[in-house]
Chain A
């Protein structure tokens, strides 16, 4: 009898360094399942960010490059331009992509680079210990805004998916989350769609995944899921923001 559920081949069978309640593990698995299902592990190159997921290569079994903070889209551009036959994905957090790497992601998206970005947004810097990110919510407390984010001082959180969708170049831009099983299924579908667009050499693709950081939010995993649902999702609504099909109409 065939196994109905098993560990993806592209995922190492090891415990992760991620905190309890962190969703990186789930997202890693979805990427690994996609790589397996498309049969592209042998020609996939991942670009690891700076942040908690810098060690993604310890869990996802394919070629990996390790970028400087924010520069993964530039590295992915370099790989994809010289080796268009490879499948390339960047895996970046919100400090990495939306702050120091905003220039690189906008220009890569605007050039229509044929790689995929998995953008994990948990509204805080994780690895450096819970500092304010461009995606931190108004009044959300972090170690560099202990009284909560003051929007009159540092502005409103950036909606990356909306911002990139404003570019005229065709792209697949979607926002998903993994805080509940039904959302996990949709995120998986979105990641697979993004990789498929890349395989077809159609367009740049970015899957924003609204995520949790119980440790730096100062919450239990269950409280984190509740807060993500109540505080993050209304500001970061789920769904496809842009597809190459809508652009072609």
Chain B
């Protein structure tokens, strides 16, 4: 298919349809409302379901109900809205139902702002819901990658019977870039006969299914949590990251994701023109985190310092720290009010830190 110029939010919407997801429930919130504005006319075109719910709380349970009935389903929201959905995400994880959540992050806490940020890193990767609840988190850096990640997210959610999150910053949602939808990423929903509540007449077994997260017997609940834990560990098979300029020797390694990583990449290129080599690792999955790749990038070079550069107040820092296993110091740099640090700022920072190494 030819490339088309699309806004990130619209590409995310179209990608879901191309992936075979024809069910969307959502509540408007800036900066991702274009997804709903696109799907309100596009879903009927493909005989899909579009419904604007009364709140993010309700939407999370519309997603849960639809997912539990065996349908492929997704929603999109932004930071405060995801907070409201987090209760439902925990229920989905507890009951082992697949669904895709897209968070186009804005600044916080509270109402924060409507400009881009990466301030929901910890929420997405460590605290998405109460209980022992985790989910696979993918972070796109381009509109093309956002579309591809959305398309990959559905089979992954179904494979693990767990929610999957696409964590993009406001820029990913708002900017226009050329995008091409790969036809070969369309997939069919997995066989849900064993667990979906779609009416027992519709299953070969003719026995009923229960979708539940209540296990009053402590042994049974512990066993359910062990099953979940095993899945979360298995998700390491899905780790994705990109290394940039790591083949040369470097004294500083940058770890950065999403839009922020693109700025860092520009800074790396500009520094390389001056003969200064800086490595860059861009995690594409944030949970699970590419800790081994970061460790290797530090230990297999003359790296003396790692910088975690984020549009948040250092939320990824601890993940980077535990990845390097104390091999060298890890520092944070970033902004989180809606401004994106410029390549020049990164270059100045790196030159200043170089001088003191």
Contact = CB atoms under 8 A, between A and B. Distances in A.
Contacts of B71: 82-83
Contacts of A44: 199
Given A42-B201, A45-B197, A68-B91, A78 B73 contact: yes
Interface string B199-210: 111100010111
Given A45-B69, A86-B199, A107-B54, A78 B210 contact: no
B63 interface: yes
A81 interface: yes
B59 to A, nearest CB: 8
B353 interface: no
B212 A103 contact: no
Interface string A67-94: 1100100111111011101100000000
A54 interface: yes
A229 interface: no
Contact of B198 (A78, A81, A86, A104): A86
Nearest to B216: A55
B127 interface: no
Nearest to B64: A75
A76 B60 CA distance: 12
A139 interface: no
A247 interface: no
Contacts, number: 129
Interface residues of B, number: 41
Nearest to A44: B199
B214 interface: yes
A97 B327 CA distance: 55
Contact of B199 (A42, A74, A75): A42
B23 A82 contact: yes
Contacts of B59: 74
Given A42-B201, A44-B199, A83-B198, A75 B68 contact: yes
Nearest to B69: A79
Contact of A65 (B49, B54, B73, B197): B197
A43 interface: yes
Given A82-B73, A107-B54, A64 B61 contact: no
Interface centre among A65, A81, A86, by most chain B C-beta atoms within 10 angstroms, is: A65
A104 B61 CA distance: 10
Contacts of A45: 69, 197-199
Given A78-B69, A79-B68, A63 B62 contact: no
Give the interface size bracket for A toward B: 20 to 34
A83 B64 contact: no
B58 interface: yes
Contacts of A86: 69, 198-199
B213 A83 contact: no
A98 interface: no
Given A68-B91, A82-B23, A82-B73, A74 B61 contact: yes
Contact of A71 (B88, B201, B208): B88
Nearest to B67: A78
Contact of A78 (B61, B87, B209): B61
Nearest to B61: A74
Nearest to A100: B57
Contacts of B122: none
Contacts of A62: 200, 208
Chain B CB within 10 Å — which of A62, A81, A86 has the most? A81
B211 interface: yes
A44 B59 CA distance: 22
A43 B54 CA distance: 27
B154 interface: no
A66 interface: yes
A44 B357 CA distance: 68
A65 B212 CA distance: 6
A86 B65 CA distance: 12
30 contacts: A42-B199, A42-B202, A42-B206, A43-B200, A43-B202, A44-B199, A45-B69, A57-B210, A63-B198, A64-B210, A65-B64, A65-B65, A65-B68, A65-B95, A65-B210, A65-B211, A66-B211, A66-B212, A68-B61, A75-B68, A77-B53, A77-B65, A78-B62, A78-B64, A79-B66, A82-B49, A82-B69, A83-B199, A85-B199, A107-B53
Interface of B: 23, 25, 49, 51, 53-55, 57-71, 73, 87-88, 91, 95, 197-202, 206, 208-214
